[in-house]
Amino acid sequence: MIQHFTHGPTLAYRTYGHGPLALLAFHGFGRTGEDFHILEGPLGELCTIYAFDLHYHGNSPAEPIRAERPFTPKELATFFAAFMDSLGKQKVLLLGYSFGGRTVLNLLEQIPHRVERAFMAAPDGLKTRPWYRGLATSRIGRWMYKRFISHPQRIHAIIHALKATRLMNDRMHRFLIGQSDTRAKRQLVHDVWLSYRNIEPDLATVAANARQHGIPVHLVFGEFDRVIPAKLGHKLRKHAPEIISLELLPFGHVLVTRELGEAMREVLG
């Protein structure tokens, strides 16, 4: 059953499992919280999973104004802290996959005292993209994003040229084209990237918070992932290797699998 929670913004979420540990789960770009249903088998007796549809995804309402008035790190942290309060939980577990990893990093940066343990599977947010920040924060850049919705040809030509010159691998090429091959997908790219442009957590702060508050952080990557490769995990782990672990699973970028749930269950005991 899909429920909604409002504290400023409104987000939809699904609940899986019935265990005593509260686990907040955040999906990848273009997906929904329904992806986490597969974790109910291995984790359902240990955790109650609250799987959110992030902004502009699934059953969560769209907020078009956010392209001009983007979410702030504090605003998102306040929202999820209020959700934790509604559950009567002082601390929760976090799980973020790909795009959802950015939300986990933000919560570790903003409200580490509310986090018991964090899992991130091929998380976005480990690598700073100056070109993205420049486009998203400038008026002309936002105009270019908007134009891309109805006129994608030039951007697609650049992507094809990068592949042809071997400056981009086949998997990344398929990923980028696959995420922008329809107008609806390009609209989603525009809405999400501009709305979340201020959510760029500082990795040193995230690691320092994990160390200070004793929060184990588990990074999981696909051994064959060419979209968010495992080497990016060291950008975070190097700041606190004693409390941040890194594990490989025999997959590509698609990591919300039963195997991920089993790896998490081993950690949780």
- Is residue 136 over pLDDT 60? no
Q: Tell me what pLDDT residue 143 has.
A: 57
Q: What are phi and psi of 131, to 5 degrees?
A: -65, -40
How far from 47 is each of 20, 82, 85, 126, 268, CA to CA, in Å? Answer: 6, 20, 17, 27, 10
Indicate the residue type of 219.
Answer: L
**pLDDT tens digits, one per residue of 197-242:** 899 999 999 999 999 999 999 999 999 998 899 999 999 999 999 9
Whether residue 31 is found in the same domain as residue 95: yes
Q: Tell me what pLDDT residue 233 has.
A: 97
Which domain does 250 fall in, by range?
Answer: 2-128+200-268
Whether residue 169 is found in the same domain as residue 216: no
**pLDDT tens digits, one per residue of 146-159:** 666 677 777 778 77
Whether residue 121 is found in the same domain as residue 162: no
| Whether the Cβ atoms of residue 184 and residue 150 lie closer than 8 Å to each other | no
The model's confidence at residue 133, banded by pLDDT at 50, 70 and 90, is: low
| Whether the Cβ atoms of residue 148 and residue 191 lie closer than 8 Å to each other | no
Whether residue 141 is found in the same domain as residue 169: yes
Q: In the chain, how many domains are there?
A: 2
